[in-house]
Amino acid sequence: MTRSKHWDLAARTVKRNQPAVLVAVVEHHGSVPGKTGAMMVVTPDTIEGTVGGGLVEHQLIELGRQDPEVQLLPFAHDGKGSDSICSGRQTFVILPLKASHLEALATLSGMDETGQTGTLTLDPAGPSIEPSITRPRSFFSDKDTWSFVTPVGPLDTLTIIGGGHVGLALSRVMASLPFQIVVLDDRRDLPTLENNNWAHATQKIRWDEVEKSVLEGDRAWAVIMTRGHRHDTAVLRRLLPLDLRYLGMMGSAAKVRQVFDELEREGIPSAALNRVHAPIGMPIASHTPEEIAISIAAEIIKVKNTKA
């Protein structure tokens, strides 16, 4: 995928004292074309980036070219439009860019060029950036103000399949590293999932569709830590075909052998199973969720820093 150059366009345009507007999705629910964090920059004659395409994006582009004020725009998709089968809600930010924002825009453009990560904050005053620090994504709004915080840059994505105590502890440990953290679980109202303030995203899924929610590629990492052998087996079966930099599964050696034997009887080659880091983590005699999380993080760091 070609990387968007919206920060470069924003910095160049503002430096020339020409109008530019940042449009960002700061919140979404349900099935929508542009997810939280999607952004585009609109100038009188150029568009860079996307917030999902379609009629809604076209309307936002037109609005961005009409000298708008800073504003939040909630939008509901009812699935009845002629150009969309989406059904969900989004909140957009319309943020005119000014000369006072130039330093932050130049920093963001430079980070794009060097592949640096950081945390972007958007609020009515404009964009601000913390280079080299990645904070979980969050959105706050009341009648007086709003704030959107999101990691930016080429972050690796760690998908934690299982939102229990170890998933919570691993999110906390990995939040200090340049990873975007996504936690998946099939349970509703799970306290450890609701209290996970370190993950950038949490999602309720079905185990038989888990692969649809896991990114692929050389920046994609996934760990399996569901609540039981049956679920672990179902998830591993569906993730084995994916292109992942790292795939690990939590469990004792006996449990891992049981899962592997079951999948081998189904015809899955042992070579495919040998790619799985299981039992997961570095051998540090860990027992508590926090200790297990540290052992997993250590193994991920080792794999990340080891040249193939």
pLDDT in tens, 86-114: 567 899 999 999 999 999 999 999 998 88
User: So where are the chain's domains?
Assistant: 6-109, 156-304
20-36 mean pLDDT: 85
Residues 6+ apart with CB under 8 A from 189: none
Domain 156-304 is in which class? Answer: alpha beta
pLDDT in tens, 107-154: 999 998 888 888 999 999 999 999 988 787 889 999 889 999 998 887
Quick one: pLDDT at residue 84? 47
Pair of tokens at residue 278: 């299981």
Give the burial string for 251-279 (b: 16+ CB within 10 Å, else e). Answer: beeebbeebbeebeeeebeeeebeebbbb
pLDDT category of residue 85 using cuts at 50, 70 and 90: very low
Quick one: pLDDT at residue 241? 95
Quick one: pLDDT at residue 156? 87
Q: Return the SS3 of 116.
A: coil
Torsion sign, CA atoms 200, 212, 248, 259: positive
pLDDT in tens, 184-239: 999 878 888 888 888 878 888 899 999 988 988 888 999 999 988 899 999 999 99
Distance CA 51, CA 106 (A): 22
Give the burial string for 9-24 (b: 16+ CB within 10 Å, else e). Answer: bbbbbbeeeebbbbbb
pTM above 0.75, yes or no: no
User: Which phi-psi region, left, alpha or beta, contains residue 282 (left: φ > 0; alpha: ψ -120 to 50)?
Assistant: beta
